[in-house]
Amino acid sequence: MPVQATASAEESAVKLSNLTIILYGGFGAAVAILADLYLKDKACAITSLDQKLASTLQLHVHPLIVAFLLISIGVGLCFVFPEKSTRKTFFRGASVLTMVMTMTPYEVHPGIPQSPEQPQPQAEIRHLDSLFVPEVFAQVRNSVEAPRTVRLDVHLAPPRGKTVSRATYTLLNPETGEILAQSTLSGTDASFYVTRRDYLLRVEVPGCRIVAVKPQLQAENSKLTIPLQATWMPVPFQRVMSSQLAK
């Protein structure tokens, strides 16, 4: 009993330095973010939070800045709720991801229409400008009143020696960064039917760099060839590193 009492007294007297709290708390948050990126792919917290900020608050923040803010919040939690061991401090910093995932639930986006009969994706009015700028409603109303579709044929040109097993196509609003529709298809060719408006088409192929282009929808049947470049970086990490995802 005296030995246990002495050990518990020494443990209660231990106080981690500020530098130790920052290192272990920040490392815990960073490990949780990297694991979330790799395991959850499109449902990861960073890209979901970045999408929410862009579509709701019109804040186009680079995903790396979002990751840095999450690590900072994780370190802040370690100071607000201090722990007496480096192990608990590590897990306290990693717990920031639970809070963020609660705030930004994963959304299932509609697929890109592949026939004229399929309904067209509509831009949602979720940003704060819609409360003060009536033109926002007029733009959405006009897009609904003129649902003329254009066929867009996309051909992917992979580097020599590589094949495209699957490709994820994402239509984004170039003004807000909001995801309008998303489809994952196999092969190098795809055909979509979309309304004649401005889009940002993002193409993600495993083993290749993410490509973002603005298709020119002038003719009734538009064709688009997208050259691909090989890379060693996984697609989830490219979403965070690439500046194409932030306006």
Dump pLDDT digits (tens) for 229-240: 999 998 888 888
Starting at the edge strand that comes first in sequence, how are the strands of the sheet with 189-195 ordered?
189-195, 149-157, 221-227
User: What per-residue confidence (pLDDT) applies to 224?
Assistant: 93
Residue type, 73: I
Residues 83 and 7 in one domain: yes
Residues 140, 99, single domain; the answer is no
DSSP code of 110? P
Higher pLDDT, 157 or 40: 157
Span 145-196, pLDDT tens digits? 445 789 999 999 999 888 899 999 999 988 877 889 999 999 999 999 999 8
For residues 89 and 179, membership in a common domain is answered with no
* One domain, residues 67 and 157: no
Q: How confident is the model at residue 140 (pLDDT cuts 50, 70, 90)?
A: very low
Whether 140 maps to a domain, the answer reads yes
Residue 6 lies in a domain: yes
Question: Are both 226 and 138 inside the same structural domain?
Answer: yes
pLDDT on residue 136: 46
> Span 38-59, mean pLDDT?
72
* Mean predicted confidence (pLDDT) in 25-33: 91
- By the 8 A CB rule, do 90 and 28 touch? yes
Task: Report pLDDT for 211.
Answer: 94
* Residues 27 and 77 occupy one common structural domain: yes
Which residue among 103, 137, 158 closes a domain? 103
Residue 203 is classified by DSSP as E
Token output for 117: 């009969």
Give pLDDT, residue 38.
Answer: 80
Claim to verify: residue 80 and residue 7 sit in the same structural domain: yes
**What is the tally of structural domains in the chain?**
2
**How confident is the model at residue 104, as a pLDDT?**
64
- Residue at 119 is within a domain: no
Flag whether 13 is in a domain: yes
206 and 140 in one domain? yes
Residue 53 structural domain? 2-103
Residue that terminates a domain, selected from 50, 70, 103: 103
Question: Looking at residues 189-212, what average pLDDT do you find?
Answer: 93
Same domain, 97 and 135: no
CATH code, 132: 2.60.40.1120
Average pLDDT over every residue of 43-64: 73
pLDDT at position 9: 44
- Phi and psi, residue 187, nearest 5°: 90, 180
Residue 153: inside a domain, yes or no? Answer: yes
85 and 145 belong to one structural domain: no
Domain stop point among 88, 103, 118 = 103
Question: 114 in a domain, yes or no?
Answer: no
Do 178 and 229 share a structural domain? yes
Q: Does any domain span residue 122?
A: no
| pLDDT value at 244 more than 60 | no
Q: Which residue did the predictor score with more confidence, 173 or 243?
A: 173
| Residue burial 152-173, b: 16+ Cβ < 10 Å; e: rest | bebebebeeeeebeebbbbbbb
Confidence of residue 43 (pLDDT cuts 50, 70, 90): confident
Residue owning tokens 């649902």: 147
Asked if residue 164 is part of any domain, the answer here is yes
**Cα gap 192→113, rounded to integer Å:** 6
| Mean pLDDT confidence for 8-24 | 73
The whole-number pLDDT of residue 54 equals: 67
Residue 128 has pLDDT above 80, yes or no: no
> Are residues 140 and 83 part of one domain?
no
Percent with pLDDT over 90 in the chain: 38
Q: Which pLDDT does position 147 carry in this prediction?
A: 58
The pLDDT, as a whole number, for residue 79 is 92
| Cβ neighbour number for residue 109 with a 10 Å cutoff | 16
Residue entry with tokens 């290749």:
208
